Amino acid sequence: MVMQYNFPNIRLEPHEVARSKTSATISLSAGAIVLNTVALSTALVASEKGRRCDYCHAAPAEGRRLSKCAGCAAYWYCGTTCQTKQWHAHHRKICKAYNGFTSSSEYQALSVESRVDAVMLSQLLAEVFPHDNFDMSAASSGSDLASQFFDLLKGPENHRGAAHPPLCRSPKSAKVPEETASEISSRFGNNNFIVHSHLTSYAHGVFPLASRLFNHSCVPNCAAKYIITPKETVRMEVAVLRDITPGEELTIPYLDPALPLETRQRALQANYGFACNCELCSFQKSVKTVPPLPADPESVRLLHARLCEFVTTHVFQVDPGAQPPSGRRRAAFDCFPPELYAVLGEQFLPTLSEEFSRASHEGPYDAALSHGRTLLALYVLLYPQNYPQIGMHALELTKTAWNAIIAGEQSGVSSGPEATRRLEDAARHYLELASQVLGAYGPEGDEGGPLEELRVMRSLLYE
Ligand SMILES: C[S@@+](CC[C@H](N)C(=O)[O-])C[C@H]1O[C@@H](n2cnc3c(N)ncnc32)[C@H](O)[C@@H]1O
């Protein structure tokens, strides 16, 4: 049966290599939500167990505690509503076996990430076949999430007949036939999302509609975010990052676009079976040799300064007061000068990020602001317009500039009103960028978070 998908403002269309793609049918503005969908199954990562409700993912309010399942003592809930819903959805088929399963050698042999997937696959099987009849034709012929799941493409590794992860099943539940487990598992790896709040990952989730609709690009024009509502299952919203014209394909990133080219290509090939040819990959592939970073600090400083200057000229005004760029992103890749190729090296971004993080916590603040400014330039170059990581980093820079002002005042060794004014200008400049980017991405995840922090910073800097 050919499934029909109808949505306002977007349309599924044939794609030459990816089976299908989703395109806009009307003009869309940055911030528009093109999909709002629920998960078929989710599983918290180990570090979040007991810190969030296993059903709705809400963290308990201050002074409140989660209560644990009396059967396995391994699932935690914010109340009986969530516990009952989870019990009927899948936990009744897993509870009695859970502890034996997680202490088994098969489970212990898995990587941390694969353990989460093994639990999620077990939950998903319980959910798709609530009566243990394992009738795949019935499960795939409806119009619900389960049938949408069966309409997904299989992952590349499963075409080679890879084994499915071990399954958790309570002794009284019927054993899942191998063929069924393999069939479901074959759509698992490449249709699996990392669920996050304020860009910190906390769970894995299967969202069949989102998987069905969106292809990958390392220069995506959309991004997924997650909406946590107490007593309900988590929802995914797909937000448009920039203005879109009718007919444009809508894409999301399957991985972090700022990862090194080789890492991205390897992961996309292994997990999804394709070679990415987006404009970022094409540009990075055209750079045949990435030179090592210069050894002497003065040359490194010059490299940072040139990167900031280049990005300011072509993409985004990194510093307040500079002339805004007139070019566009595409042109930035076309004219990226070989003298800057060293910044594309695998270690440049992680090292810079670490240096910024350390100095912004421990000081000195001028070093933090200097590293953070170069990191902003690199993010703006590598990530697409309004990508949420740019906004989060701009917010960190705002706070760092503010902390530098306060530290100067408190120590009594402030370097004068001119230096304070420059810091205030910088803080306001970063605040405006953070507001634009995070405003387009919109509310998501746990309560509070970056939008609340932006509100606080705005009142400190303008009131
Ligand atoms: C989650 S699905 C995306 C939806 C898919 N196009 C469909 O028709 O169901 C992921 C699969 O789509 C294909 N795909 C996604 N992005 C692609 C891209 N940029 N280039 C080529 N194939 C892609 C790959 O086969 C991948 O395993």
Token pair in block for residue 123: 């939950």
List the domain boundaries for the chain: 10-252, 288-462
Return the C-alpha torsion angle 268, 273, 279, 280, nearest 10: 20
State if residue 211 touches ligand 1 by the CB under 6 angstroms criterion. yes
Looking at residue 322, its pLDDT comes to 76
ipTM of this predicted structure: 0.99
Percentage above 70 pLDDT, the chain: 96
Q: How confident is the model at residue 387 (pLDDT cuts 50, 70, 90)?
A: very high
**DSSP string covering 336-387, please?**
--GGGGGGGSTTHHHHHHHHHHHHHHHS-HHHHHHHHHHHHHHHHHHSPTT-
Looking at residue 334, its pLDDT comes to 87
Q: With CA atoms as reference, report the closest residue to 376 among 402, 396, 403.
A: 396
**255 Cα: distance to centroid of ligand 1 (angstroms):** 13
Token pair in block for residue 374: 């170069």
Q: Taking 60 as the threshold, does the pLDDT of residue 383 lie above it?
A: yes
State if residue 19 touches ligand 1 by the CB under 6 angstroms criterion. yes
Q: Using CA positions, which residue lies closest to atom 23 of ligand 1? A: 18
**279 Cα: distance to centroid of ligand 1 (angstroms):** 17
Q: How confident is the model over 105-122, as pLDDT tens digits?
A: 999 999 999 999 999 999
> What is the fold of 288-462?
1.25.40
Coil vs helix vs strand at 419: helix
State if residue 276 touches ligand 1 by the CB under 6 angstroms criterion. yes
Q: What is the mean pLDDT of residues 172-201?
A: 92
Q: What is the mean pLDDT of residues 85-97?
A: 96
Q: How confident is the model at residue 423 (pLDDT cuts 50, 70, 90)?
A: very high
Q: Taking 70 as the threshold, does the pLDDT of residue 1 lie above it?
A: no
State if residue 191 touches ligand 1 by the CB under 6 angstroms criterion. yes
Q: Using CA positions, which residue lies closest to atom 27 of ligand 1? A: 272
